[in-house]
Amino acid sequence: MQVELAKTAGFCFGVKRAVETVYQEIEKNDGDRIFTYGPIIHNDEVIADLKRQGVEVLNTLEELKRLAGGTVIIRSHGVPEAVCRLLEDKGIRYVDATCPFVKKIHQIVQKESRNGAHVVIIGNSAHPEVTGIQGWAAGPVDIIQNAEEAEAFSLENEGQKVCVVSQTTFNYNKFQELVEIITKKGYDIIVLNTICNATKERQEEASGIASRVGAMIVIGDKKSSNTQKLFEICSNACENTYYIQTLGDLNVNQLRSVESVGITAGASTPYKIIEEVQNYVRINF
């Protein structure tokens, strides 16, 4: 069987940096407790390994408020500005592992909103990255995820300045579609495509592979937004597309009737898992 592995599969720069930050803190730790505010990345395998090494996850703001000491690591998705201020006010040491591309969006939103712009974030309102971005705005924010929400977007002042940014892992083509709808409304709009290049390249490569193979395997955590987008894109190009978290989720019977398989993975997927899947498919089919 022919197996094609995407060159862009696996950890992106921001995820790799965040995970390495936690392991560095573990190595130099002198006995203090180490926490991450939310999972450092969306991958259960990585979180389980960090837990075995003593890293604790704080899942709510209430837990953070009760904290009396230790080191808090801010995850790759970033947090609202208020969370940073809370940690500073409590005198708790924190390490900011926010992806630099996400951090750039924080700075854009903070600056543009202070200058009077109404901020529009194109993304998933339930995703922690979007929550973090929203928390750096000094004024009103709208979050838009689909065409219906874009069509419904309306402001009283026709001359209102509007700043449009995107969740870094949003589908590039959908972003363009939603921007087109919003732009037609005639506001004083500035559009900043803040989808990270690694995401765009990963999506384009995955689509290309999926279009020429008999089956496509997408590897990543079920909570990973960028992996969900990859699965959606690959499904549109290849009807035999399968979403797995680890090799244990792979149904081998689904691959027996095809001659070629493509493999890609989300930005939070460790290479060890990708390698296990790739080797298994190569050896057994």
Q: Which of 81, 88, 129, 276 is catalytic?
A: 129
Sheet holding 71-74, edge to edge: 55-58, 34-37, 71-74, 93-96
Q: How far apart are CA 120 and CA 183, in angstroms?
A: 12
Task: Tell me, yes or no, if 129 is annotated catalytic.
Answer: yes
Could you tell me which of 270, 267, 264, 213 has the C-alpha nearest to residue 237?
213
Q: How far apart are CA 188 and CA 265, in angstroms?
A: 39
As separate numbers, helices (DSSP H) first and strands (DSSP E) second, the chain gives: 11, 12
Q: How far apart are CA 133 and CA 108, in angstroms?
A: 10
Spatial neighbors of 203 by CB under 8 A, at least 6 apart, are 171, 172, 229, 230, 233
Q: How far apart are CA 136 and CA 82, in angstroms?
A: 8
Which residues are known catalytic residues? 129
